[in-house]
Amino acid sequence: MYKLKFVILGLDPGIQNILKIMDSRLRPSGMTEKKPTLYTNYTQHCKEGSMFIIFVRNTMPLWLAITLIFSSSSFASDHGSKHKTVPKGEQESEKFTPDIKFSKETQACIACHSQVNPGIVKDWLSSRHSKITPSDALKKPSIERRISTNTPPENMQSIAVGCFECHSQNPDKHQDNFEHMGYRINVVVSPNDCRTCHPTEAEQYVKSKMGNAYRNIMNNPVYHALVNTIDGRKIIENGKVIMQDASYETLHETCLGCHGTKVEVKGMKKISTGSTFGDVAVPDLSNWPSQGVGRENPDGSIGACTSCHPRHSFAIEIARKPYTCGQCHLDPDTPAFNVYKESKHGNIYDTKEFEWNFSNVPWVIGTDITAPTCATCHNSLLVSPGGSVIAERTHDFGDRLWVRLFGLIYSHPQPKSGDTTIILNKDNMPLPATFTGELASDFLISRTEQDNRYKKMTNVCKGCHSTNWTYGHFKKLDSTIKETDEMTLSATKLVVEAWDKGVEDKKNPFDEQIEKLWIRQWLFYSNSVRYASAMTGAHDYAAFKNGWWELSENLQKMRDMLDIKELSKKKIIEHNKDD
């Protein structure tokens, strides 16, 4: 006889089912059902809520027992003493309950996945979800709460928010719901599932432009034509460049990597786990994995909370740091992260990052941080050292923005709806302005709402800056917006001239040389100057890094290209007449 330590996480039907499956799959030939197995040893020696050392007799092969040992020491440390430590910089009210309970279903998940996917389990064990129950979260003062529901489900109130609690929500809505080791779970956790504890945040997010990012780019024929032109393969036929439609795989790796994909269930498939569990049947999902902000989910919802709060720690600290936004907001088209790094704010962040508190809720200006990150300006709950609210938390990232800097084709007031596919301008195009700059005002926020949002943002700025400084900054931004729009209009006049003279074809306004120079004018250069102005201090992005130098040089290139193509066209016509 030999002895092996074997930790049991609770007498749970799911674990029993898992052990039975293992026994049936791994039982060597010749072993009869009458001989003791892991399952019979388990049921004989396990009592609910206790840990035991099982004596595995020689009827249980050593090789099988070894493959099934749970990580008892690491789980015990994560589930016990580690919870008594308050993370550095954590506010006093965020101390975690030492003896927090995990549901039996989540224990069953941990039992297997701590062996198969230990990174997932360790990440979750580091999360607040594993360390505080919804009922304890509700005991905090309202301004310190990280959940917005007052009535979490009764069966979740006194347990950690674990694997099963997130992956089992709303099974009737999830096309990706399936039976797995005795439980029914969903593969994708959607904002509608997170809504169980975070209804306000989910509601704000799904109404935002970020939540609608997939449909805004794929269901708008103008934007989709631009994406398809950029990402589609080109072939040469008879000396001409022929464009082909972009494959979905390429879209997934490019634009939809940030905007999100449409995830659908095609059926079921078997995958090899490469472990004791052998082949496992799981839903076959199209366009998965996907972590884009506007992902369309198998339950019919839109968005992905994990874009900013990555699984499985879901840490607010990650969401608050600029690297998260920098995954997508990069030059040349949306250079927010690049500009931030070169700005005075970015300089302070790089120097002071490790002295700041990224965990505290609410975020205290001047105490927790001394310069803003992206989250500071755009969505975090901010208070003064005395506790006065400077800005309310929002997960609609346009809530403090009165103007949309991102030129489509021109800057414009923010749209009323996050679903921008509903916009229709006077040219009967789904754009917020016509090619000559006339706004589709019926679909854009009013002057009153612009002023309201301007006040919200200036309040954030005045948390660190004087009123005179703040207003001087935004006066400069107003001038920058006006002048860059004028430069875009100049470029647009040239591309319209090219269309009118027939030297380029308007049918696809994005695929010929003058048209591509026009795109650069508003998508790269005007945007760069505006972002640099808005996030003051990154002067090179306003001047020589996709800034005013390129705006001017590009306009001249367009004029020269137009003249050359027009002359070439005339020569061809004259040559054909001579023939």
Residue pLDDT, tens place only, 428-454: 999 999 998 999 999 999 999 999 999
Tell me the one-letter amino acid at 492: T
pLDDT at 571 over 90: no
Weakest-pLDDT range from 52-61, 271-280, 420-429, 563-572: 52-61
Break the chain down into helix, strand, coil percent, rounded to 5.
45, 10, 45
pLDDT at 381 over 90: yes
Q: Look at residue 494 in the predicted model and tell me its pLDDT.
A: 98
More confident residue, 205 or 9: 205
pLDDT at 20 over 70: no
Of 259, 329, 245, 325, give the one whose Cα is nearest residue 290: 259
Q: Look at residue 579 in the predicted model and tell me its pLDDT.
A: 65
Mean pLDDT, range 477-481, rounded to an integer: 97
Place of tokens 């020569």: 571
pLDDT at 302 over 80: yes
Helix axes 104-116, 118-125, angle to 10 degrees: 130
Weakest-pLDDT range from 53-62, 203-212, 282-291, 461-470: 53-62
Taking the mean position of all CA atoms in its chain, how far away is CA 27? 44
Mean pLDDT, range 101-118, rounded to an integer: 93
| Distance separating alpha carbons of residues 205 and 413, to the nearest angstrom | 19
pLDDT at 86 over 90: no
Q: What confidence tens digit (pLDDT) does each residue in 163-217 have?
A: 999 999 999 999 999 999 999 999 999 999 999 999 999 999 999 999 999 999 9
Name the percent of the chain lying above pLDDT 70: 83
| Distance separating alpha carbons of residues 530 and 541, to the nearest angstrom | 9
Weakest-pLDDT range from 74-88, 110-124, 152-166, 452-466: 74-88
The overall average pLDDT reported for the chain is 86
Burial tier of 221 (Cβ tally within 10 Å: 0-12, 13-18, 19+): exposed
Name the percent of the chain lying above pLDDT 90: 78
| Residues 523-540 as b or e (16 or more Cβ within 10 Å = b) | bbbbbbbbbbbbbbebee
Cα–Cα separations (whole angstroms), residue 326 to 320, 322, 335, 341, 391: 11, 6, 9, 10, 23
What's the CA dihedral at 509, 514, 519, 525 to 10 degrees?
A: -170
pLDDT at 46 over 60: no
pLDDT at 512 over 70: yes
Q: Look at residue 21 in the predicted model and tell me its pLDDT.
A: 47
Q: Look at residue 3 in the predicted model and tell me its pLDDT.
A: 33
Residue 269's SS3 state is strand
Residue 413's SS3 state is strand
Of 103, 263, 99, 113, give the one whose Cα is nearest residue 168: 103
Q: What is the DSSP string of 4-48?
A: EE-------HHHHHHHHHHHHHHPPTT--TTS--HHHHHHHH--T
Q: Supply the Cα-derived Rg of the chain in whole angstroms.
A: 29
Q: Look at residue 548 in the predicted model and tell me its pLDDT.
A: 97
- Would you tell me how many other CB atoms lie within 10 Å of the CB of residue 177? 22
pLDDT at 95 over 90: no
Q: Look at residue 98 in the predicted model and tell me its pLDDT.
A: 59
Query: Which tokens hold the place of 249?
Result: 């795989």
Q: Look at residue 483 in the predicted model and tell me its pLDDT.
A: 98
Q: Look at residue 30 in the predicted model and tell me its pLDDT.
A: 44
Q: Look at residue 578 in the predicted model and tell me its pLDDT.
A: 72
pLDDT at 508 over 80: yes
Of 15, 35, 41, 174, give the one whose Cα is nearest residue 105: 15
More confident residue, 69 or 572: 572
pLDDT at 575 over 50: yes
Query: Is residue 378 reached through a cis peptide bond, with omega within 30 degrees of 0 on the bond before it?
Result: no
More confident residue, 93 or 224: 224
Q: What is the DSSP string of 338-378?
A: HHHHHSHHHHHHHHHGGGS-SS-SSEEBTTTBSS--HHHHH
Mean pLDDT, range 448-471, rounded to an integer: 97
pLDDT at 58 over 80: no
| Distance separating alpha carbons of residues 78 and 332, to the nearest angstrom | 44
Q: Look at residue 277 in the predicted model and tell me its pLDDT.
A: 77
pLDDT at 383 over 90: yes
- Would you tell me how many other CB atoms lie within 10 Å of the CB of residue 207? 18
Weakest-pLDDT range from 33-47, 354-368, 520-534: 33-47
Mean pLDDT, range 352-371, rounded to an integer: 97
| Contact status, residue 294 vs residue 212, Cβ threshold 8 Å | yes
Cα–Cα separations (whole angstroms), residue 515 to 335, 409, 520: 22, 13, 9
How would residue 99 be classed by pLDDT, with cut points 50, 70 and 90?
confident
- Would you tell me how many other CB atoms lie within 10 Å of the CB of residue 502? 11
Mean pLDDT, range 55-64, rounded to an integer: 31
Q: In angstroms, how far is the first alpha carbon of the chain from the final one? A: 102
How would residue 337 be classed by pLDDT, with cut points 50, 70 and 90?
very high
Query: Which tokens hold the place of 335?
Result: 């250079």
pLDDT at 17 over 60: no
| Contact status, residue 105 vs residue 183, Cβ threshold 8 Å | yes
- Would you tell me how many other CB atoms lie within 10 Å of the CB of residue 397? 22
Pairing of strands 389-391, 382-383: antiparallel
Mean pLDDT, range 268-288, rounded to an integer: 89
Q: Look at residue 97 in the predicted model and tell me its pLDDT.
A: 53
| Distance separating alpha carbons of residues 492 and 431, to the nearest angstrom | 15
